[in-house]
Amino acid sequence: MTTVVVVDEAAQQLREIVDWWIANRAAATTLALDEFEHCVRLLESSPDVGLRFHRTPVPGVRRVVMKRTKNHVYYVHDADNAVVYIIAVWGAPKEGDPVFITGNPGSTSRLITVAQAMYERAYRHPLQVQIYEGQRRLLQSLAARGPEMERQVRDDLFSVENSLKAARGELEGLRDTTLVAKKIRWEREFRGRIEADPGLEAAYGDVWTKLAGLQVRKLEVSPRLNVSNPQTVGGPHLGYAGQLVTYVREMAKPEAQRSEEFRAGAEQIRMMLETPGGADPEIAAATLEMHVALAATLLGPGDPLREALLRAGESAPQAAARLGRESQILDPAFRRRIMEGGAAALDAATDPLLAFAREAAKVWPGLLEEWQAVQAAETVEKQRLASALFAAYGTSLPPDATFTLRISDGVVKRYEYNGTFAPPFTTFYGLYARAAEFGNRMPWTLPAAFDRARNEIDMSVPLNFVSTLDITGGNSGSPIIDREGRVVGLAFDGNIEQLPNQFLFRDEAGRTVGVHSAGIVEALRSVYKAEALLRELLGNATRGGNQ
């Protein structure tokens, strides 16, 4: 019989695994030790039972799995001396284990000032939410027409819902008084460091005041800029109206005075205006209503842009319905008549959407110029703010992410959720349960491949897990590694509670969500039958109980 020797490092790893099971699995405190002892007996009688593991510099390594606790035992068989050396006992990450992530995250808004955050809370984020909500209603209505239409809009609907989720979550954070209070406290500390140094005060002391003033200018410009822009929402009514006004106004000028942009696209604009567009009536009506609703929300009584769309006492749906009935802008024959009649015909037209487009065309260039000037000035001040941060804190604080390589650390950890706790891990059981609980309807419909494999999948295998890792856009697909440098998952999302971390990192409930490496392996094996890929990933291992 073969002798089994556990080297010191493996023995320490085993002790940690056993201690964790004792502390965290009251109903199965001895399971990890029992499985390991069974593994030892197996190796004593069948030392070559393990599958060869080639992704290591140590030659001859084999691996067996402790199937219930998902721990892997790595060993080397010295056949000449009838000895098996267990060199490592590694398992999946457990709650409380440290994890790390490397990747190329994009920027956040954590370094913005309180005044900039207030602009986001007062204007930009509510605007985003309103637009996304309107787009979602439209896409849901289109999807309800039938299976084929649902298939056509499914990806767009998913994208809009994902954007809406992010905008709402971030807005919730901006409305969180605790988050805002922490931003205020941090800004006071930062400014205090600058003000305490005469040189820094002279160089950077006015940056917060200047940024605050720019936010006021943005609040003054943004509403009319967005309402006067037919592309803020998009849609055929205002798209045709805006292009028709542009075309007629530019064609009335001598060619040398026409804008370069117009000259480059004049023929395309003419063809678009003269050709029947076949606009979907539901899409046209919905997008018009969305734009009118923006005017009603963003502009006050007496504003000429608002008055061109809404009459006194009208709601946005009422005004949009009236405008749709009264306007001829979707009729190509009407558009041709205006084009042929030139500036005189355009100015005399009583079509309500042309009247709005004429008003918008008067103010849009000036508003855009002012907006671009504000943006340029804000860019300068943001650069000064970043320089001030470095001057005050040096390398003790990292700069914001810029899609350059970063590493972040955290721990696997549950979080409070609906009066209880969300578990640190989910399993394939949850995937199938959720589909069943919602009648296998979208968006909980099981993919056909998973439906076919339901009797082959080991449902107890971890599928996803959460950790306190700090991620943002650009981290999706980044590897999550444990303290031994092993890939234990791939990051793909954050929970809802993590979204306010765009403005301030907090780990009370915000979590990174990663797909578990064991779940990837189980899906490749049992669902996709990707044996060749598994052999490449796992070191030429083949299907079997000791994978």
DSSP characters over 213-253: HHHHHHHHHHHHHHHH-TTTT--HHHHHHHHHHHHHHHHTS
Q: With 0-12 CB in 10 A as exposed, 13-18 as middle and 19+ as buried, what is 211?
A: buried
State whether 67 and 132 are in the same domain. no
Is 36 a member of any domain? yes
**Residues 374 and 256 grouped into a single domain:** yes
* pLDDT of amino acid 326: 97
Please check whether residues 247 and 373 belong to one and the same domain: yes
Contacts of 479 (CB under 8 A, 6+ apart): 101, 102, 103, 487, 489, 490, 491
pLDDT at 531: 86
In whole angstroms, what is the distance from residue 503 CA to residue 121 CA? 11
24, 148: one domain:
no
Within this chain, do residues 380 and 412 fall inside the same structural domain, yes or no?
Answer: no
Same domain, 186 and 301: yes
Determine the pLDDT at residue 54: 65
Edge-to-edge strand order for the sheet containing 512-516?
406-411, 98-103, 479-482, 487-494, 512-516, 462-467, 425-427
Same domain, residue pair 384 and 406? no
Q: Tell me whether residue 544 is in a domain.
A: no
Which residue among 388, 418, 448 closes a domain? 388
- Residue 233 located in a structural domain: yes
Same domain, residue pair 121 and 86:
no
- Residue 34 CA to chain centroid, in angstroms? 43
163 and 306 share one domain? yes
List the domain range (segments joined by +) for residue 314: 114-388
Rounded CA-CA distance 43/1 in Å is: 9
| Domain presence at residue 306 | yes
Question: Same domain, yes or no, for 45 and 146?
Answer: no
Give which of 158, 70, 91 is closest to 427, Cα–Cα: 70
Choosing from 388, 417, 436, the residue where a domain stops is: 388
CATH of residue 24's domain is 3.30.2310.20
DSSP symbol at 472: -
Closest CA to 483 of 103, 7, 105, 91: 91
Cβ atoms of 116 and 211 closer than 8 Å = yes
Identify whether residues 465 and 500 lie together within a single domain.
yes
Q: Are residues 299 and 418 in the same domain?
A: no
105, two tokens: 């995250």
What total of structural domains would you count in the chain?
3
User: Do the domain assignments include residue 546?
Assistant: no
10-residue averages of pLDDT along the chain (547 residues): 93 91 86 94 93 75 84 92 93 87 93 97 98 97 94 94 96 96 97 97 97 98 97 95 96 93 93 89 96 97 96 96 97 96 96 97 97 98 96 90 92 94 93 96 91 90 94 93 89 95 94 94 91 76 38
pLDDT at 402: 87
Query: Which H or E run contains 411?
Result: strand 406-411
Paired tokens of 342: 């030139």
**Strands 415-417 vs 406-411: parallel, antiparallel or unpaired:** unpaired
Amino acid found at 243: Q
pLDDT at site 277: 77
Please check whether residue 272 lies inside any domain of the structure.
Answer: yes
Backbone conformation region of residue 112, classed left if phi is above 0, alpha if psi is from -120 to 50, else beta: beta
Residue 473, domain CATH: 2.40.10.10
Does 463 map to a domain?
A: yes
Residue 393, in any domain of the structure: no
